Amino acid sequence: MRSTTLLLILAYATTLVVGRPATTSTSATTAAEAPHNSGQVEIFTHCNRPGVFALTFDDGPDKFSWGLAKRLKDQGIKATFFLNGENSVNVLTDSTMTDEGEKTYLEVIKHYYDSGHEVASHTLKHINLVGLSEEQVKEQMNKQSDIIYKATGKRVRLMRPPEGVVDDVSSKVLSELGYYDIMWDVDTKDWEHKGLKAEQARIREVMDKDVANKTMGHIALEHDIHQDTVETLVPWFIQYVKQKGYEFVTVSDCIGVEPYFADTNSTIPNASG
């Protein structure tokens, strides 16, 4: 069920046009350039079938996350959240007021999961993985895995590298740890705060070209740490995607992989995995 090499090449071409993060290091191998021979992490930029759509949110949790997870659930929508432990908030020490009382951020992560959404890793501290040692990459991934495990009892397999970039070292470590590298093919660039019209234009630039029953489903990038994203962009985006007749799915469903390790005590899968 994995994408063929041809599809991956096409996806990279798309990513290079619409999905490339603004910040890259000169020494960086972008995810789009990473080789796919064994030993390197497997990269996905879109779904493996038409008619589905994966809404993804990075950099949380934050104070808008609880309500967003609930509103999506109330609309029957499943999303995927790529979480940091120490970024916008410190998950292990901070808490937030919600419409259901004060909640710790570990409870917010559990709430994502209990609301039917998928949880995934965006590293512990949102550090660009390019140039890090194997040990440093492992620390970023394993400590974040521990935090999500503490909140949900699940060991995640989906990750998104900060700024969308990996190099050979981090790619190899991610592969050894059993992760899938989840990129995107629809970039809202909501972090630029240029307003809904600019975000709509970027989404339409990709999705208005879709051919029914033919174009592979999309993975769209947003950030639930921004109020305008949660309150303005998301409601419009949902209507737009629904009007196109797409089904909202989690990333694991969209690409056809397991989101969590079956053995919840392990951080490292069998060597051949």
Residues assigned a catalytic role: 58, 223
* Residue range at the interface with Zn ion (CB under 5 A); choices 43-51, 58-66, 198-206, 228-236: 58-66
Closer CB to Zn ion, residue 57 or residue 66?
57
State the residue number with the nearest CB to Zn ion: 58
Residue 118 found at the interface with Zn ion (CB under 5 A): no
What number of residues does the chain have?
273
3-state secondary structure of 137: helix
CA–CA gap between residue 230 and residue 170 (Å, rounded): 31
Closest to Zn ion by CB, 81 or 260: 81
Nearest to 122 by CA among 179, 58, 44: 58
- Cis bond before residue 235 (omega within 30° of 0): no
| Distance from C-alpha of 217 to C-alpha of 155, rounded to nearest angstrom | 26
Q: How far is the CB of 57 from Zn ion (least distance, A)?
A: 10
Nearer to Zn ion, 58 or 167 (CB): 58
118-121 and 101-104 strand pairing? unpaired
Size of the site for Zn ion (CB under 5 A): 2
- Using CB under 5 A, pick the residue from 15, 28, 45, 58 that binds Zn ion: 58
Instruction: Please report how close the Cβ of residue 118 comes to Zn ion at its closest, in angstroms.
Output: 16
Give the chain's largest Cα–Cα span.
50
The distance of closest approach from Cβ of residue 58 to Zn ion in the complex, given in angstroms and rounded to an integer, is 4
Which is closer to Zn ion, CB of 48 or CB of 123?
123
For residue 261 the two structure tokens come to 């390790």
User: Of the listed pieces 36-44, 50-58, 73-81, 101-109, which binds Zn ion according to CB under 5 A?
Assistant: 50-58
The smaller minimum CB distance to Zn ion, of residues 3 and 56, is found at 56
Burial status of residue 51 (CB atoms within 10 A of its CB: 0-12, 13-18, 19 or more)? middle
Fill in the amino acid letter for 211.
V
- Of 253, 201, 193, 248, residue with least CA distance to 223: 193
Q: Which residues pair with residue 181 across a beta bridge? A: 43, 159
40, 41, 59, 225: which one binds Zn ion (CB under 5 A):
59
Q: How far is the CB of 84 from Zn ion (least distance, A)?
A: 7
| Stretch of residues binding Zn ion (CB under 5 A), selected from 36-44, 59-67, 94-102, 258-266 | 59-67
What type of residue sits at position 42? E
* Contact set with Zn ion (CB under 5 A): 58-59
